[in-house]
């Protein structure tokens, strides 16, 4: 009888729980006995904080609720295991706990940093002849994992962003030529501009779209930005601009550091970015004397389960299922990937990649050829790449006019 444990790590998405549901459902179906969940990822596992997922999910209705619940049901962490040489204590502890519960397989659902954890545990197991195997299931709204065509969580965040931008664009036009207004919308994605690029999807025959898009891949020039806005305002009175939270000036400082030079750093060395739209709004107000409103989409863009993309939701579920299949076959150091067979009609294949070291800690950026030469918009190819990922809607389970979610019991 085999047992499996699953964890969630890093920033959540609106469909990361669909992957958890996929892991659980398939693991039980193919013959795992116990399917445990670690609370708060590897950080909780180190303290033996685990739950038996049967307690919740033998009930099919709960599994449906889980698929529609945003954030990470099991809780998350940003915990770096460190190298085996420098931190053997943590590794020994993890394996002690896995042995104690007779766990054979571990699946970690996460982004680049989480894949670093999978790679390190896999390496330790190989070096020390441990029986356990380790599998990564991708998730990240940032869409910056290499090798896979895209990542679960990204499509739904794009759908929310493009939808919300359409609403913001309508609102921002309200005073027309009587007042010049600029809305600056800050979008997550840290060092990769995939998510910010989805702002381009707002445009169609019913919506004029955003007027400029600034990705973190290039250098952000504040003088050029002010000039861009001035020029746009010569042509129209109301403009909307999408900016990545991670845009940096020539000296590699984040624009948000103009507001706060002492940003906190997480255990992977990432600065906690916030305040870019606010900083730019202040610059425009001071320099151009216009109304400039900063809008930070923040948590909303990754928690909007009422607006998930059905395509993304289904893919997240299937990636979870594939993770359990790989684990059951005793694969280790693998990550589930999606391979795009065609864009029109959209077709993908669920596959696996057998060397997680080539994925861990590596950020896939938006390629130059998909960024406009002036670095203030994206190309049609990038729009075509994202479009299939936002298709379809998922019916929420509603009660008293509000969506229902599932929350784990206090432990
Ligand atoms: O890792 C995904 C992500 O959502 C990034 O886009 C964002 O910069 C970061 O997480 C925010 O993380 P946290 O919620 O831990 O501050």
Q: What is the pLDDT of residues 108-118, one digit of tens each?
A: 999 999 999 99
* Rounded Cα–Cα distance for residues 149 and 151 (Å): 7
For residue 279, pLDDT over 70 is answered with yes
Residue nearest to atom 10 of ligand 1 (CA): 11
Mean pLDDT in residue range 158-184:
98
Residue nearest to atom 2 of ligand 1 (CA): 11
Distance 266 CA to ligand 1 centre (A): 10
Task: Give the catalytic positions in this structure.
Answer: 142
How much of the chain exceeds pLDDT 90, in percent? 95
| The ligand 1 atom nearest the CA atom of 195 | 6
Distance 163 CA to ligand 1 centre (A): 21
Q: Which residues line ligand 1 (CB under 6 A)?
A: 10-11, 111, 140-142, 188-190, 245, 272-273, 302
* Rounded Cα–Cα distance for residues 402 and 381 (Å): 38
* Rounded Cα–Cα distance for residues 243 and 212 (Å): 8
* Rounded Cα–Cα distance for residues 213 and 162 (Å): 12
| The ligand 1 atom nearest the CA atom of 245 | 8
201-248 tens-digit pLDDT: 999 999 999 999 999 999 999 999 999 999 999 999 999 999 999 999
For ligand 1, mutation pick of 142, 186, 192, 267 (most atoms within 8 Å of CB): 142
Q: Are 60 and 25 in contact (CB under 8 A)?
A: no
Distance 105 CA to ligand 1 centre (A): 27
Q: Are 270 and 245 in contact (CB under 8 A)?
A: no
Q: Are 192 and 154 in contact (CB under 8 A)?
A: no
Q: What is the structure's pLDDT at 374?
A: 87
Averaged pLDDT score across all residues of the chain: 97
Pairing of strands 32-38, 50-52: antiparallel
Distance 220 CA to ligand 1 centre (A): 21
For ligand 1, mutation pick of 190, 264, 272, 277 (most atoms within 8 Å of CB): 190
Mean pLDDT in residue range 348-371:
97
Q: What is the structure's pLDDT at 307?
A: 98
Q: Which of 58-62, 256-260, 400-404 has the lowest mean pLDDT?
A: 256-260
222-235 tens-digit pLDDT: 999 999 999 999 99
Phi, psi of 204 (to 5 degrees): -160, -165
| The ligand 1 atom nearest the CA atom of 270 | 8
| The ligand 1 atom nearest the CA atom of 13 | 4
Its pTM surpasses 0.95:
yes
Mean pLDDT in residue range 283-292:
97
Q: What is the structure's pLDDT at 409?
A: 86
Residue nearest to atom 4 of ligand 1 (CA): 11
Q: What is the structure's pLDDT at 404?
A: 98
Of residues 358, 378, 356, the one with CA closest to residue 367:
378
Tokens representing residue 264 in the block: 């906190």
Residue nearest to atom 14 of ligand 1 (CA): 11
Residue nearest to atom 1 of ligand 1 (CA): 11
| The ligand 1 atom nearest the CA atom of 302 | 4
Q: What is the structure's pLDDT at 268?
A: 86
Tokens representing residue 66 in the block: 């889980």
Distance 11 CA to ligand 1 centre (A): 5
Q: Are 228 and 182 in contact (CB under 8 A)?
A: no
Q: Which of 76-80, 192-196, 264-268 has the lowest mean pLDDT?
A: 264-268
How much of the chain exceeds pLDDT 70, in percent? 100
Pairing of strands 346-353, 334-343: antiparallel
* Rounded Cα–Cα distance for residues 343 and 352 (Å): 20
Distance 374 CA to ligand 1 centre (A): 27
Q: Is 373 exposed, middle or buried (0-12, 13-18, 19+ CB in 10 A)?
A: exposed
* Rounded Cα–Cα distance for residues 407 and 72 (Å): 10
Distance 188 CA to ligand 1 centre (A): 7
Distance 142 CA to ligand 1 centre (A): 8
| The ligand 1 atom nearest the CA atom of 142 | 6
Residue nearest to atom 8 of ligand 1 (CA): 190
Q: What is the structure's pLDDT at 269?
A: 87
320-345 tens-digit pLDDT: 999 999 999 999 999 999 999 999 99
For residue 411, pLDDT over 80 is answered with no
Residue nearest to atom 11 of ligand 1 (CA): 11
The band of 260, judged by pLDDT with boundaries at 50, 70 and 90, is confident
């Amino acid at each position: 009888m085999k047992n499996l444990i699953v964890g969630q790590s890093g920033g959540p998405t609106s469909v990361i729980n669909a992957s958890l549901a996929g892991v659980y459902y398939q693991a039980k179906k193919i013959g795992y006995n116990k399917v445990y969940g670690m609370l708060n990822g590897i950080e909780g596992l180190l303290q033996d904080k685990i739950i038996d997922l049967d307690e919740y999910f033998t009930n099919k209705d709960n599994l449906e609720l889980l698929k529609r619940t945003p954030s990470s049901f099991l809780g998350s962490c940003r915990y770096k295991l460190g190298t085996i040489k420098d931190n053997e204590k943590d590794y020994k502890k993890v394996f002690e706990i896995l042995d104690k519960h007779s766990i054979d397989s571990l699946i970690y659902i996460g982004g680049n940093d989480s894949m670093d954890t999978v790679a390190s545990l896999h390496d330790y197991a190989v070096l020390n002849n441990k029986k356990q195997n380790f599998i990564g299931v991708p998730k990240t709204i940032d869409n910056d994992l290499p090798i896979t065509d895209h990542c679960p969580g990204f499509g739904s965040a794009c759908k929310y962003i493009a939808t919300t931008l359409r609403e913001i664009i309508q609102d921002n036009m309200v005073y027309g030529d009587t007042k010049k207004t600029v809305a600056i919308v800050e979008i997550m994605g840290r060092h990769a501009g995939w998510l910010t690029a989805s702002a381009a999807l707002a445009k169609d025959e019913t919506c004029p779209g955003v007027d400029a898009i600034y990705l973190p891949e290039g250098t952000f020039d504040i003088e050029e930005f002010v000039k861009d806005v001035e020029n746009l305002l010569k042509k129209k009175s109301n403009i909307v601009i999408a900016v990545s939270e991670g845009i940096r000036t020539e000296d590699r400082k984040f624009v948000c550091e103009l507001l706060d030079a002492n940003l906190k750093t997480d255990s992977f060395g990432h600065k906690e970015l916030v305040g870019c739209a606010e900083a730019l709004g202040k610059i425009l107000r001071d320099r151009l004397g216009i109304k400039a409103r900063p809008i930070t989409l923040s948590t909303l863009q990754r928690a909007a389960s009422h607006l998930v993309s059905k395509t993304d939701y289904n893919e997240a579920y299937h990636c979870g299922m594939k993770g359990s299949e790989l684990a059951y076959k005793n694969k280790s150091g693998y990550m589930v990937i999606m391979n795009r067979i065609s864009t029109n009609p959209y077709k993908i294949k669920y596959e696996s990649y057998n060397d997680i070291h080539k994925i861990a800690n590596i950020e896939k950026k938006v390629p130059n050829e998909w960024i406009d030469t002036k670095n203030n918009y994206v190309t049609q190819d990038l729009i075509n790449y994202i479009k299939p990922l936002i298709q379809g809607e998922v019916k929420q389970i509603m009660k008293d006019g509000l969506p229902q979610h599932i929350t784990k019991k206090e432990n």
